Amino acid sequence: MPEAASAAAPTRATIGDSEFDRDTALTARAPGVYDIDLSAGWTIINAVNGGYLLAVLGRALADTLPHTDPFTISAHYLTASQPGPAVVRTETVRTGRTLSTGQASLLQYDEEGREVERIRVLASYGDLDALPDDVRTTAAPPAIPPLQECFGPQDGPSPVPGSSAITDRLMIKLDPATLGWALGAPSGRGEMRAWFGLADGRDADPLSLLLAVDALPPTAFEIGLKGWVPTVELTVHVRSRPAPGPLRVSITTRNLAGGFLEEDAEVWDSSDRLVAQSRQLARVRLG
């Protein structure tokens, strides 16, 4: 009775068979050239989420390079992506024994059908499973209350401002201490912390970590700013393959100045391992 059993318990998606995997799947047109239809399921207001786009580019590079895990990936965001057809072009820059480096561009088409570049990426890939086990970290996991004491877009009396299609794809439960902005009382501190997962239950892997670092509300909201905070550049270091289970994401902004700010993210897995670090430079549209 497999069907009855599956109807009784909600089916958890798996790595390779989930919304995230389907929506980052690429079709190879030629060596180093991939077609994809960017899903409207990962939009915030009308913009396609930058972390989802980075995962698309990261997946293309994993296919192109001899190594499959992004160790460090740097993306410069050029123009705003739209849901719909896109092409990814990759280039192998160097292959080495333990690391290989590649470049990728995401392009879409203007009204005349000309390619317009959306994002350009440089990345060095390796094999996370081949790393030694040594951990000599002084970093500690963020203090976030238990998941059931945190709040997501579905928990409020009214939707969290800025909610959009992507909220249906993600499990985000924000630490109440960084939720003041949603209640009209931002803390003034540039911090955002949350439990994070994919809504269909798919566990995290190195590619979905590229999404995790850019999926929380902007820290600028807790500083008291409103409006859009477009990413100029985002670099992610994947430091370990994440264990199954929900992630904790902590984002900090220390320096809002001259119309720009940095967002530093840490991602921790269920075994208390720091699995990713990221930093982005974003513009502040002062509202």
Interacting residues toward a second copy by CB under 8 A: 71-72, 74, 76, 78-79, 93-94, 99, 101, 103, 117, 120-124, 128, 131-139, 189-190, 223, 232-233, 235, 237, 239-240, 254-260, 262, 273-274, 277, 279, 281, 286
Nearer to a second copy, 131 or 199 (CB): 131
Give the three-class secondary structure for 181.
Answer: helix
Assess contact for 195 and 245: CB atoms under 8 A: no
CB of 23 to a second copy, least distance (A): 25
Nearer to a second copy, 3 or 133 (CB): 133
CB of 223 to a second copy, least distance (A): 7
Nearer to a second copy, 92 or 163 (CB): 92
Nearer to a second copy, 7 or 286 (CB): 286
Spatial distance between the Cα atoms of 68 and 205, rounded to a whole number of angstroms = 11
185-222 as b/e, with b when 16 or more CB fall inside 10 Å? ebeeebbbbbbbbbbbebbbbbbbbbbbbbbbbbbbbb
CA-nearest of 225, 153, 166, 236 to 190 is: 225
CB of 251 to a second copy, least distance (A): 14
Instruction: Tell me the chain's radius of gyration from C-alpha atoms.
Output: 19
Nearer to a second copy, 25 or 93 (CB): 93
CB of 58 to a second copy, least distance (A): 14
CB of 10 to a second copy, least distance (A): 35
Nearer to a second copy, 46 or 79 (CB): 79
Assess contact for 27 and 35: CB atoms under 8 A: yes
| Type of residue at 50 | G
User: Read out DSSP for 10-35?
Assistant: PPPPBTTBSHHHHHT--EEEETTEEE
CB of 77 to a second copy, least distance (A): 9
